[in-house]
Each structure stands twice: as C-alpha cells, then as structure tokens.
Amino acid sequence: MVVDHPPVRKLSVVIPAFNERPTIATLLERVAAAPLPGGLEREIVVVDDGSTDGTREHLRELEGRGTPRFRLVEQPHNRGKGAALRAGFEHATGEVVLIQDADLEYSPSDYPTLLRPILDGDADVVFGSRFLGGPHRVLFFWHFLGNRFLTTLSNMFTDLNLSDMETCFKVFRTEVLRGMTLSSKRFGIEPELTAKVAKARVRIYEVPISYHGRTYAEGKKIGWRDGLAAIWAILRYNLLS
C-alpha cells in the first residue's frame, strides 16, 4: 500500500504516438488547454514510436515553435505502445502521470474528472471508463463485446470489478509506476498495468469519461490479433509474473 504521498504539484501527460500526423497537432492543443484543478503545473511528454507518415517531423517542427510546450522523445523504430509508454514514464517528472492517446478518441476535457479521486486523497490509480454512462460515439458491437470479454477475464484474475480494463485513460501517482517493473512492448501494456496495480493493492477508482471512437478508415489500428495478444498478456501477467 502506498503511504505518505508527496503533494501533487505537477501533472505529467504521457502521449505515445505512431503515425498520427492528421491529429497530433490538434490533440496537443487540446491537452495544453485542458482545465486542471488546483492550479496544477502541466508537463507534456510525447513519445514518437518510429512514425513513418511524417508525424515525427511534424512533432519536431511543433516542438521548435514552443507552442504548445512539450518534450519529444523519439524511439529509434516502431516498438509498440507499451515500449513507448515505458519510455515516456522515464521522462515524466510530475507527481501524477496520465496516459493520453495521440488520436482524438479520448478528450482532455475529462482531466478534472480523472484527477479528482487522486487530488482528494481517495485513490492512487484512476481508470477512465467508456462504459459508465459518459457520452460516446456509437460504433462497433464486436469491439464492445471483445472489450467486455477481456475486462471480465482480467477481473477474474485480479479480483477487481473494473468495467473497462482496456481504456487508454489511466492515471497513476508516479510512485506507483516507479514501483512496477513493466515489460510489455505493444497493447499488452493495458493488462500488464492492470495486473500490477491489483497486485500492489493500491486504491483504484473508476470514473466515467466521454469517448469519440474512430473507424478504421479514420485511422483506428487495434484489431483481432491484438485481442488474442491481450488474452495472453492477461494470463502472463497474472499467473507467470
């Protein structure tokens, strides 16, 4: 159990990005403009995961302008979301770390809701759930069913009652992350983070968020192979590590 928490003065937003040239500038503007409770300082860390569509060059250009301000971390080649997040966590200096995808599916306007349980001293980790009544774009039934299956399978091993294990929006006291040894390179990072916070017996909250899902034509990347990999990750990180 985490105790004696340091005061929260800075939020680190870690953004893994791979081939998100059409959305990254707008996303960064929204992250920089998002309301933060309690006068929190904001740090933005973007990890380019070996993009090949011009995202990396565009990020370099945006970083050079200095508006919005962010730190760019460049992976030498595409290694996956998990590897990008681990690189971003190493560069985060805030007392709280929030994961933000580089597309526009998750809205930075939800930051106050996500941060409140931690700032109130009630939680060490917060999951933003797409299935607790927040507004969301209506899209794929089979994605919804697959997510429910993966979340239920994860809950069976962790004994948590989460409604959305695969959510991008996860917020951590940084000391919780520092206490973990993470190894996932790709989308297995979601089950791994969930399994390890459950084993750490930290206080976990779940809050409703909005969700603006996109189609494959609009750039969605996750597919059925990632679902199979997630099943293996749930088994691996709950039973073998």
Residue 68 preceded by cis peptide, ω within 30? yes
Q: Are 2 and 173 in contact (CB under 8 A)?
A: yes
At 151-164, the pLDDT tens digits run: 999 999 999 999 99
At 63-95, the pLDDT tens digits run: 999 889 999 999 999 999 999 999 999 999 999
170-173 and 96-99 as β-strands: parallel, antiparallel, unpaired? Answer: antiparallel
Look at residue 237 and tell me whether its pLDDT is greater than 60: yes
Tokens of residue 94, six digits: 């805030």
At 18-61, the pLDDT tens digits run: 999 999 999 999 999 999 998 899 999 999 999 999 999 999 99
Cα radius of gyration rounded to whole Å, the chain: 17
Q: Are 31 and 13 in contact (CB under 8 A)?
A: yes
Tokens of residue 239, six digits: 């039973």
DSSP class per residue in 66-111: TSS--EEEE-SS---HHHHHHHHHHH--SSEEEE--SSSSS-GGGH
Q: Are 3 and 34 in contact (CB under 8 A)?
A: no
Look at residue 216 and tell me whether its pLDDT is greater than 50: no
Would you give the end-to-end CA distance of the chain in angstroms? Answer: 19
Give the other-Cβ count within 10 Å of 10's Cβ: 16
Look at residue 213 and tell me whether its pLDDT is greater than 70: no
Query: What is the pLDDT, as a whole number, of residue 222?
Result: 62
Tokens of residue 47, six digits: 């990890």
Query: What is the pLDDT, as a whole number, of residue 49?
Result: 97
Which domains can be identified in the chain, with CATH numbers?
Answer: 10-239 (3.90.550.10)
Which among 106, 89, 103, 119 has a CA at the least distance from the CA of 13?
A: 89
Longest dimension (CA), the chain: 48
Q: Give the predicted TM-score (pTM) of the model.
A: 0.90
Q: pLDDT band for 240, please (50, 70, 90 cuts).
A: confident
176: helix, strand or coil: helix
Q: Which residues contact 129 (CB under 8 A, 6 or more apart)?
A: 162, 163, 164, 167, 206, 207, 208, 209
Q: Which residues contact 107 (CB under 8 A, 6 or more apart)?
A: 30, 209, 210, 212
